[in-house]
């Protein structure tokens, strides 16, 4: 009998792998624009690292970790998430001594012993980012905007951003108490786990996927009503920064996240297309974690996305690489000009498509639509006479007549004016 793979551990086959590469390349490119550098950390860490950071009374630590004792009698765990390891490394190598504002991203496999189903596996992959050393809500907005920028670059507009604030060690205890008072009379409706964790971690009930817990907590008090002045201001300012650059969001006061280290801002990118596996990316601020892991008292914020879920979304929304520009040309001289320009642009690192058959403008534009190019350049006879063409930004719906020149066009396509 042939040996099969392990349940919940997937192969990624050649056809599929292109999507993965596209996602990874897009992350590297977009995160690079925001000054993030890659960090590569080990898969195996001391079990203690996760217990201390993620929290003892969480699903991950209580029942999802792949932990074992190695041949040297050390308790080790295959990482269930990336933040703990990144922060461990940040502290161990004193990255804060160079600059306390570190901007790091990582990608790779994570391991959780969960019930495998669509969008939920035992080995899955995350791409995540962490920004340390900034208390100002500009950091929160920057990280969120980068995440949304990444999804926009993939052509995925469906997952929507939800944000919340979990308060800080000053104001969270009061909320915890309020929630406990509220849950006390409803304990019978909670699932076994949430009832057991009522004393140690009552917030978990808000994050629980069981129907009983969902119903019992439907009208639970909102954490947002318990924020101290500092946390309330932080939340307002984060939103102001988001609005400043048109990053769309909704407030979800029930979102508590499955890890204990979060403070203040938490967020999720949520989709309606993957059933119960609705979170495509998630994260938050962790202002005490670095110190708790033995480092300096520096704040941090970060997120992780589930790559398998992004791949599934690309399938739902029909994945196609978006060329930077589609060139449409009217008439033979314009076609020649278009061809020359296309080759020149491709050498300048701009991806270009055109209609090789020279059909009507209407059919060329249909092709541009099909490719969903970011820009269209239309070279008509009149414009060509002036040495010009019309460049249209398809996302913004604005167009202008510009001189035909590969450098000029490459610049506009790579750095579109807002
Ligand atoms: P969920 O609520 O779906 O269990 P989570 O809150 O446990 O997610 P995080 O720990 O915040 O997830 O991890 C960030 C992202 O990693 C999730 O939003 C999701 O996209 C992905 N992810 C988490 N667990 C799995 C898994 N077992 N299989 C595939 N992707 C996962
Ligand atoms: Mg989970």
Q: Is 81 in the pocket of ligand 1 (CB under 6 A)?
A: yes
Q: Provide the pLDDT confidence category of residue 32 given band limits of 50, 70 and 90.
A: very high
Q: Is 279 in the pocket of ligand 1 (CB under 6 A)?
A: yes
> What separation in Å is there between the alpha carbon of 265 and the centre of ligand 1?
18
Terminal Cα distance for the chain, rounded: 61
Query: 130-184: per-residue pLDDT in tens?
Result: 999 999 999 999 999 999 999 988 888 889 999 999 999 999 999 999 999 999 9
Rounded mean pLDDT of the chain?
93
Query: 77-94: per-residue pLDDT in tens?
Result: 999 999 999 999 999 999
Q: Provide the pLDDT confidence category of residue 359 given band limits of 50, 70 and 90.
A: confident
Which ligand is the nearest neighbour of the Cα of 306?
A: 1
What the block records as the tokens of 277 is 């596996």
Q: Is 121 in the pocket of ligand 1 (CB under 6 A)?
A: yes
pLDDT at 69: 98
Q: Cβ(351)–Cβ(376) under 8 Å?
A: no
> What separation in Å is there between the alpha carbon of 146 and the centre of ligand 2?
23
Least confident segment among 68-77, 161-170, 283-292, 313-322? 313-322
The pLDDT of 42-47, averaged and rounded, is: 98
pLDDT at 417: 60
> What separation in Å is there between the alpha carbon of 417 and the centre of ligand 1?
36
pLDDT at 18: 86
Ligand 1, atom 22, lies closest to the CA of: 306
pLDDT at 227: 97
The pLDDT of 192-211, averaged and rounded, is: 90
> What separation in Å is there between the alpha carbon of 356 and the centre of ligand 2?
49
Q: Does 418 score more than 60 pLDDT?
A: no
Q: 80, 306, 308, 309: which to mutate for ligand 1, most atoms within 8 A of CB?
A: 306
Ligand 1, atom 16, lies closest to the CA of: 306
Say which residue, 315 or 409, is predicted with more confidence. 409
Listing DSSP states for 19-88 in one string gives HHHHHHHHHHHHHHHTT-EE----SEEEHHHHHHHH-TTSHIIIII-EEEE-TTS-EEEE-S-SHHHHHH
Q: Does 415 score more than 80 pLDDT?
A: no
- pTM (2 decimals)? 0.80
Long-range contacts of 370-374 (CB under 8 A, 24+ apart): 371/320, 371/322, 371/323, 371/326, 372/155, 372/320, 372/322, 373/322, 373/323, 373/324, 373/325, 373/326, 374/322, 374/323, 374/324, 374/325, 374/413, 374/416
Q: Is 120 in the pocket of ligand 1 (CB under 6 A)?
A: yes
The pLDDT of 190-209, averaged and rounded, is: 91
The pLDDT of 242-270, averaged and rounded, is: 91
Query: 226-241: per-residue pLDDT in tens?
Result: 999 999 999 999 999 9
Which ligand is the nearest neighbour of the Cα of 281?
A: 1
The pLDDT of 105-119, averaged and rounded, is: 97
Q: Is 160 in the pocket of ligand 1 (CB under 6 A)?
A: no
Q: Does 413 score more than 90 pLDDT?
A: no
Ligand 1, atom 4, lies closest to the CA of: 277
Ligand 1, atom 20, lies closest to the CA of: 306
Query: 172-198: per-residue pLDDT in tens?
Result: 999 999 999 999 999 999 999 999 989
Q: Is 114 in the pocket of ligand 1 (CB under 6 A)?
A: yes
What the block records as the tokens of 383 is 């414009």
Q: Does 319 score more than 70 pLDDT?
A: no
The pLDDT of 280-300, averaged and rounded, is: 97
Q: Which 3 state secondary structure label does DSSP give 302?
A: strand
> What separation in Å is there between the alpha carbon of 287 and the centre of ligand 1?
22
Instruction: Work out which ligand 1 atom sits closest to the CA atom of 126.
Output: 16
Q: Is 324 in the pocket of ligand 1 (CB under 6 A)?
A: no
> What separation in Å is there between the alpha carbon of 191 and the centre of ligand 2?
16
pLDDT at 174: 93
Q: Is 270 in the pocket of ligand 1 (CB under 6 A)?
A: no
């Amino acid at each position: 009998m042939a040996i099969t793979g392990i349940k919940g551990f997937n192969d990624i086959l050649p056809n599929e792998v292109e999507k993965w590469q596209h996602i990874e390349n897009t992350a590297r490119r977009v995160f690079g624009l925001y000054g993030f550098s890659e960090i590569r950390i080990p898969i195996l860490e001391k079990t203690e690292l996760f217990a201390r950071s993620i929290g003892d009374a969480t699903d991950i630590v209580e029942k999802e970790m792949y932990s074992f004792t190695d041949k040297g009698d050390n308790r080790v765990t295959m990482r269930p998430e990336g933040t703990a390891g990144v922060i461990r490394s940040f502290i161990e190598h004193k990255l804060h001594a160079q600059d306390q504002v570190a901007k790091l991203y990582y990608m790779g496999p994570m391991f959780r012993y969960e019930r495998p189903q669509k969008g939920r596996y035992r080995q899955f992959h995350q791409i995540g980012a962490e920004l340390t050393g900034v208390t100002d809500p500009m950091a929160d907005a920057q990280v969120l905007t980068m995440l949304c920028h990444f999804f926009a670059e993939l052509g995925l507009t469906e997952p929507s951003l939800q944000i919340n604030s979990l308060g800080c060690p000053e104001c969270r205890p009061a909320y915890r108490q309020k929630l406990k008072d509220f849950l006390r009379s409803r304990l019978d409706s909670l699932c076994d786990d949430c009832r057991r964790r009522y004393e140690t971690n009552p917030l978990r009930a808000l994050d629980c996927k069981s129907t009983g817990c969902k119903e019992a907590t439907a009208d639970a008090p909102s954490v947002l009503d318990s924020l101290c002045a500092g946390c309330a201001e932080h939340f307002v300012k984060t939103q102001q920064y988001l609005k400043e650059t048109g990053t769309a969001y909704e407030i979800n006061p029930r979102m508590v996240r499955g890890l204990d280290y979060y403070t203040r801002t938490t967020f999720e990118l949520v989709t309606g297309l993957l059933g119960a596996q609705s979170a495509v990316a998630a994260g938050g601020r962790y202002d005490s974690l670095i110190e708790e892991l033995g480092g300096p008292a520096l704040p941090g914020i970060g997120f992780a996305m589930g790559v398998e879920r992004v791949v599934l979304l690309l399938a739902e929304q029909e994945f196609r690489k978006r060329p930077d520009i589609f060139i449409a040309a009217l008439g033979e001289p314009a076609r020649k000009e278009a061809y020359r320009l296309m080759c020149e642009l491709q050498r300048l690192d701009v991806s270009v498509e055109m209609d090789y058959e020279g059909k009507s403008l209407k059919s060329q534009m249909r092709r541009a639509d099909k490719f969903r190019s970011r820009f269209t350049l239309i070279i008509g006879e009149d414009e060509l006479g002036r040495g010009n063409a019309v460049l249209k930004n398809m996302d913004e719906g604005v167009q202008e007549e510009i001189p035909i020149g590969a450098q000029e066009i490459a610049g506009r396509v790579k750095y579109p004016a807002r």
